[in-house]
Structures are given as structure tokens and as C-alpha cells.
Amino acid sequence: MSKIIATKAIKGAHQIVTRAELMVEKVLKEHGKELPLAFPDTTYYLPFIYAMTGVKVQKLGDLLPILEYVCSLLPEVPAEELWLPYLGDTLDAGMATLFAEEIIEALKYATENPTPTHDFWVAFTSDAILREQGIKLVDGRMPGFAAIVGCAPTNEEAKRIVTELQEKNILVFMSAVSTRADGKKICIAEQLAEEHVQMGWDVFLVPHGTDITATIYALNFAARAAMSFGGVTPGDMKKAKDILLYNRERVYAFVLALGEVDEEKHANAAGAINFGFPAVADTDIDQILPTGICKYEHVISPVAREQMVSKAIEIRGLKIKVSKVPIPVPFGAGFEGERVRREDMQVEFGGKYSNAFEFLGMKSMEEVEDGKVEIIGADIENISEGVSLPLGIVVEVAGRKMSKDFETILERQIHTFLNHAKGIFHMGSRTTTWIRISKEAYQAGFRLKHFGTILHAKLLEDYPAIVDKAQVKIYTDPKEMEKVLPQIEQVFAERDARIAGMTDETVDTFYSCTLCQTYAPNHVCIISPERLGLCGAYNWFDGKAGYEINPRGCNQPVKKGETIDLIKGQWKGINEFVYQASHNTIEKFSAYSIMDTPMTSCGCFECILVVIPEANGVMVVNRGFRGMTPCGMTFTTLAGTVGGGAQMPGFLGVGKLYLVSKKFLLAEGGLARLVWMPKELKEMLGEWLKKRVEEIGMPDLIDKIADETVATTPEQLLEFLQKVNHPALSLPPLM
């Protein structure tokens, strides 16, 4: 190893640990040992400390023995620069650095605003977001992580580097400052903000802060990944080693050091090496080339900025699948959550001001000319900036193994595929489509024909087993749109009637989904006609189609077998499959009950159901609702309790449309048990909910279900329910 890196890393560690010691001493004098310490919306306490020691830090006094341990890790600063053939002292210095940085950032949360004043900083990542990003790990949309420290010489180069990472679907954490070409000390996130680049989890760009200590947020994210997705429970040094090894083998992360690398950055690089994360620098610092802690080289420098991303991917061993779609803008999952604001918009379709629809249908092989993109009406070259136009997208596919059952699955991908183009915003589906093209994309040469280019390329690339040919028709002529829309709406109605007319009794086979077992190893989702997957993304037809597309995939047919209990939803064949697929941990489950052996929850659920004993009913809260609920927990806190694949009577993760199913909590009395739900969820369910309460003969039930405007505590809830005479109060006791 290098003598320079060892010396600088150890010096940097001493600086950061001293800073932590002084901060603890100051806060201790001002607030005392009982000062609460916590990061927001996590069940992992101070995650890095918890992962490495098993200690559940909850107040300032809990930190004192941790700080002593950190100081014991610190090697002495070498009196002279000696070459050593091992990394031990450097690694210890790196670990001490990460401990100290988490202490500093936790104290910031306890005593001051933890982030700079700009609204784009995110600081600590909640457990809910951790789980949401975990889905992208599972399905391959996100192959790895990059932690960028410092800044690029120019804003243009900063944009180029992060765009390259986004194109490769790599998540980017950003922290610390270095010197820009104009002499300003700045973080790469601030450079992106100056260029009005959208940042946030939706676009894979996560700015943590300008302080070097904010780098810990990337590392405690990695530590929680091992605890949450890898099932590693902290407790001793062996468990700490397991967490580090999980990251080395499963979390493909690396560090990009832009600009000068001072002693504190050296110390952070040493900390990252403990996780198996290598570092690539654009300045001339000493290298660590032998393999060992990292799979390949540990530190590489100097690397030209144009080659940094590819070199980092090489030495971390990432396997990148990049779609080569011939369009004039970057393309990748990292752009999926990008928003196009009205002031940045060249043109929009649908939304509030015009009509737009999209449809995918099956045709015979003879009816489809592969790769044909037809514009029916005018393109957008000669229109005024900022206008809203009508649009219709009709995709016609053919394949020897194509089936009409697959149409909805492929149609749903229109949303995903178009959003992967940088500068394109897509929302909605069917006849509620809303699309915007940014000025930047338009100026780069993006036109309507490129919608067709994207859809053709991705359908053939992602679904080669069923799609042999695809053609796209794009309508902008309102009169031509009026001719085809009634036919399309008829198909939509037929699809809805098909699933609506099915019941669990009319089929002898359900479908499994084990997509999320990567991070909830024992979870098994069973999808029936009347109970969709808890993520809300898969119904029975999707499970069936998923199996036909990939017979060895996560969707498997499950024969119901002998009926055990129709009211609770238990079948012998289902129980046998669940026991085997859950690695012999879940012996049975009830599809229609929250109290008797309910289905497990992975963490991807759209909503969480919770029994409220005082109300003799259940509440539901949807992902995205940030307020307090009558059970005394927010969605985020509940998610940390319910997720992970455990069977928990009284708690249940569900897809939101299950709330309007005839099998909803059939064993406990159905919809009449629902006593509280967020107002926004009521509005989301809208006509579905209205129709269902009429079917059960309780048309006024919606108004009797409390929301956050009338109750956030059990006492307030009970008072409201008594006032409106909610039917749950007269049902048999739940507990």
C-alpha cells in the first residue's frame, strides 16, 4: 500500500474525530446526557453505529462509550512516512472517520439545521426511501451507487459526469466541496443547481451536503441495505463483518473524488474501502493497486474525467446493461423521475388543456411492419413554444407467442420507456396521458417520431420472447384521433369487465410473486383475481402473463387444492407452496384476514392496514402520506415494523385496490371495519370506493370513515366514530 495515503488518511481521521469530540463536549455542556439523538424516519437508530456495534443510540449519553471506542481505533500518526505492506492502520482510521462523522451529523440534527439552506439538499435518507430504492436493486434498474466528493472544474463537466451515471442507471450521492476552475469552493450538487438540473431520488441524484461529514449518509445507506435487504441483524464484530462483506459482494458502489483530495477526503476513502468500495480520483494521489478488501484495485489516480465513470465501473466489477436507443437525448432509468416544469417546456400533450391517450394492441404478423413509425398529423417543428396539443399513441405488436393477455403488461411499459428519455415527462395511462417535452430535448433534436423509436426498441429488447415486431402510430390530428378513440375505449372497457367479472372461486390457480425475496427472503405474495399484489403493480392476469413470458421467473402458478376455509381464504395447495417458497418459515396464511395468519409483507406495499382496538376496526395509510395516524405511527415507522417478510397479525401490507375488493378482510367483516384513511387515499379510490359501498348497502360509509382532518389519535377517532355511528362499533370484537 502507499505510505502517503496511510499518513494522510490517519491525519484526516484524527481531524474528524477531534471535531466530533469537541462537538460532543459542547453539546453535553449545553444539553446534558439525556438529549435525544435520532435521524428522522428510521428504525435503525444511528445506522452506521448500530450496524457496526449493535448499540441502539437514543440519547447523548449513549454516545460516550462509542466515542471512547472510536478513539481506540485511531492509529498514531506516523512520525515519518513509512511504506507498509498492509492496510490495517488505514482501514481502522477509515472506520474511526465514519463513526465520528455519524456522531457529528446526528448532533447537527439534535441541535441545528442539518443541511444548508437550499431546498435541494436531502441529508439523511428515510427507511421508506431505502425500501423504495431497494425495488430498483431487485429488478435491476439500479446496478450500483456512486459517491461523488468535490466538484468538477466547470458546471458543464459536472452535468456531463452525472448524466453519464444516470444513463447507466447508477445512483449518485453527492457531498463535500473542492475548488472549481474559477476559484470558488463548491460541491458538485451546487454546480448542478446553478444549471437548474433536477435532483432527488426520482432522478438518481441525491445531494447530501457541502460538509465532508455528509459523506456518512451514503455509507449508512449501505449499512442499512445489508440490514434491511440482506437480513443481517447487528450485534457483535462478526455481524459487523457480515455487513461489510454483504456490501462488498452485493452493493456495487464506488467513490469519485473530483478536485483536490485533502486529508479528510483520504480518511473517507479509507472508510469506503472497508465496505469494498474503491475510489477513483482525477488528481495525482498515490494509488492502492493490489486486490484484497476491494475485489480489484482500491484507489486509482489520476484518471481523466472523461474516463472516470468507466474506470470506476471496471474496478468495482459492475455489469451494466445500457439500452442503445437511437434518439438525440440520453436514455436510462436515471431519468425516469425527471420533471419538466412549465417554464422549461417546449410542448405538452394532454393534462388539463388537451386530450391525449395511449394504447397497445396485438395484431397479426402480416399487419405489422416492424420498426414503422407513422405520424398522423403535424409534428412539432413549427409550433409555438409552450403550447398544449392533442396526442394519441397507438402501438401495435405481433409475435408468434404474443397473446392478448400480455397487452396490458406491455401497455404499462409505455410510461416507463418514455420517461427514460432525458427531457421527457410522462404521467398517466389510457385516456389520462400527460406528456411534456423540454426545450433542451427539443433543441437537441427530439421529435414525436422518437416516441416511436423508443417504444419499438425497448419492446423488442425487453420482451424478445413475445414481441417479434412492433409499429407505432402517433396521432396529432384531432379528427383522426376521434375516429380511433371509440374503438380503443371499447377495448379498455372489455379489459376492465374481464377482471371485474372474475372471482377467486372461478379459478383453480393463483399466482405467486417472489420478486422481493432479495430483500425480504421469506416473503411470498399470492395473487388472486380478487386480491392483487401488495405493490399494486400485479393482478392475476399479470401473474399469469408473467409466468408465460418467463416460466422460471418470480411468477409461478399455484394450484389452490383442497379448501380449508373459504371465509379466511385458506387452501391446502396454497399453504404447501407458501411453506416451501418461504424457506419453510410460513406454514400457512389467510388471504382474507388481518388477524389469523395474514400474508407477509415485503416492504413494497402501497398501503398498510393496522387494527385499532379502541375503534374495533382497522385503519389504512398509503405510501406518501406523511402525517400521523391514529395508531401512533407514521407510514414510515409502520413500514419498518411491517416489512421484511414477517407474519404479523393486526398489520398487513396491501395494494390500494384491494380495499374495494369483495374479499377485503372478509374474515373480519369487510369494508365495514374500515374506520380511518387519509383524505388523499379516499380521493384516489374515488368511484371505485363509491361503487363498493353502494354494493354492500352502506352508501354513507365513506363519510363515516374518518381522515386526518378529524382524527389523528385513538381518542379523537373514537369520538368521531360514535358521533357518526360507524358500523364497526357494532360488529363482533376484533380482539
Lowest mean pLDDT segment, chosen from 353-367, 443-457, 525-539 = 525-539
Specify the residue for cell string 396521458. 433
How is residue 660 annotated by DSSP?
G
Residue 163 to residue 332: CA distance in whole angstroms? 9
Q: What is the mean pLDDT of residues 86-109?
A: 93
- Contacts of 324-327 with CB under 8 Å at 24 or more apart are 325/421, 325/453, 325/454, 325/457, 325/458, 326/453, 326/457, 327/421, 327/446, 327/450, 327/453, 327/454
| Residue 451 clears pLDDT 50, i.e. is over it | yes
Residue 123 to residue 143: CA distance in whole angstroms? 22
Report CA dihedral (190, 193, 194, 198) to the nearest 10 degrees: 150
Specify the residue for cell string 445500457. 322
| Residue 357 clears pLDDT 90, i.e. is over it | yes
pLDDT the model gives residue 102: 98
Q: What is the pTM of this model?
A: 0.67
In 3D space, the residue among 315, 149, 132, 162 whose CA is nearest the CA of residue 217 turns out to be 149
| Residue 253 clears pLDDT 90, i.e. is over it | yes
72-108 as b/e: b if 16+ CB within 10 A: ebbbeeeeeeeeeeebebbbbbbbbbbbbbbbbbbbb
Instruction: Please give the biggest Cα pair distance in the chain.
Output: 85
| Residue 269 clears pLDDT 80, i.e. is over it | yes
Cα three-residue angle 502-508-512, rounded to 5 degrees: 90
What's the pLDDT band for 137 if we cut at 50, 70, 90?
low
What's the pLDDT band for 1 if we cut at 50, 70, 90?
very low
The length of the chain in residues reads 735
DSSP 397-440: EE-TT--GGGHHHHHHHHHHHHHTBTTEEEE--TT--EEEEEHH
Q: Which residues are CB-neighbours of 73 under 8 A, at least 6 positions away? A: 92, 93, 95, 96, 99
Residue 712 to residue 718: CA distance in whole angstroms? 10
| Residue 73 clears pLDDT 90, i.e. is over it | yes
Query: Going along 220-322, which residue ranges are E strands?
Result: 253-258, 279-281, 299-300
| Residue 82 clears pLDDT 60, i.e. is over it | no
Find how far residue 313's CA is from the centre of its chain.
22
> What backbone phi and psi angles, to 5 degrees, belong to 146?
-125, 130
- Beta bridge pairs of residue 279: 255, 299
Residue 439 to residue 385: CA distance in whole angstroms? 8
What's the pLDDT band for 5 if we cut at 50, 70, 90?
low
| Residue 446 clears pLDDT 70, i.e. is over it | yes
CB 221 within 8 A of CB 125: yes
Q: What is the mean pLDDT of residues 538-559?
A: 83
User: Which contiguous run of DSSP H or E holds residue 451?
Assistant: helix 449-462
| Residue 139 clears pLDDT 70, i.e. is over it | no
Cα three-residue angle 332-336-309, rounded to 5 degrees: 40
Residue 507 to residue 502: CA distance in whole angstroms? 8
pLDDT the model gives residue 368: 94
CB 507 within 8 A of CB 544: no
pLDDT the model gives residue 642: 85
What's the pLDDT band for 156 if we cut at 50, 70, 90?
very high
What's the pLDDT band for 505 if we cut at 50, 70, 90?
very high
| Residue 519 clears pLDDT 90, i.e. is over it | no
* Share of residues in the chain with pLDDT > 90 (%): 64
3-state secondary structure at position 156 = helix
In 3D space, the residue among 424, 415, 346, 355 whose CA is nearest the CA of residue 379 turns out to be 346
Going 192 to 198 to 199 to 202, the CA torsion angle's sign is: negative
Report CA dihedral (17, 22, 28, 29) to the nearest 10 degrees: 170
- Note if the bond before 47 is cis, omega within 30 degrees: no
DSSP 235-255: -SHHHHHHHHHHHHHH--EEE
CB 24 within 8 A of CB 16: no
Residue 37 to residue 55: CA distance in whole angstroms? 13
What's the pLDDT band for 130 if we cut at 50, 70, 90?
confident
In 3D space, the residue among 597, 591, 608 whose CA is nearest the CA of residue 535 turns out to be 608
Can you list the domains of the chain with their CATH numbers?
A: 3-316 (3.40.50.2030), 339-490 (3.30.1650.10), 504-730 (3.40.1470.10)
What's the pLDDT band for 574 if we cut at 50, 70, 90?
very high
In 3D space, the residue among 213, 290, 287, 149 whose CA is nearest the CA of residue 12 turns out to be 213
CB 682 within 8 A of CB 708: no
Burial class (CB in 10 A: 0-12, 13-18, 19+), 429: middle
pLDDT the model gives residue 115: 55
Residue 342 to residue 27: CA distance in whole angstroms? 46
Residue 430 to residue 647: CA distance in whole angstroms? 37
Digit-coded pLDDT (tens) for 179-218: 999 999 999 999 999 999 989 887 889 999 999 999 999 9
3-state secondary structure at position 730 = helix
Q: Which residues are CB-neighbours of 457 under 8 A, at least 6 positions away? A: 323, 325, 326
Query: Going along 449-585, which residue ranges are E strands?
Result: 469-475, 509-513, 525-527, 557-559, 563-565, 570-571
Q: Which residues are CB-neighbours of 531 under 8 A, at least 6 positions away? A: 504, 569, 591, 592, 658, 661, 663
CB 635 within 8 A of CB 709: no
pLDDT the model gives residue 563: 96
Q: Which residues are CB-neighbours of 611 under 8 A, at least 6 positions away? A: 594, 595, 617, 618, 650, 651, 734, 735
pLDDT the model gives residue 643: 75
Q: What is the mean pLDDT of residues 374-397?
A: 91
pLDDT the model gives residue 472: 97
CB 33 within 8 A of CB 114: no
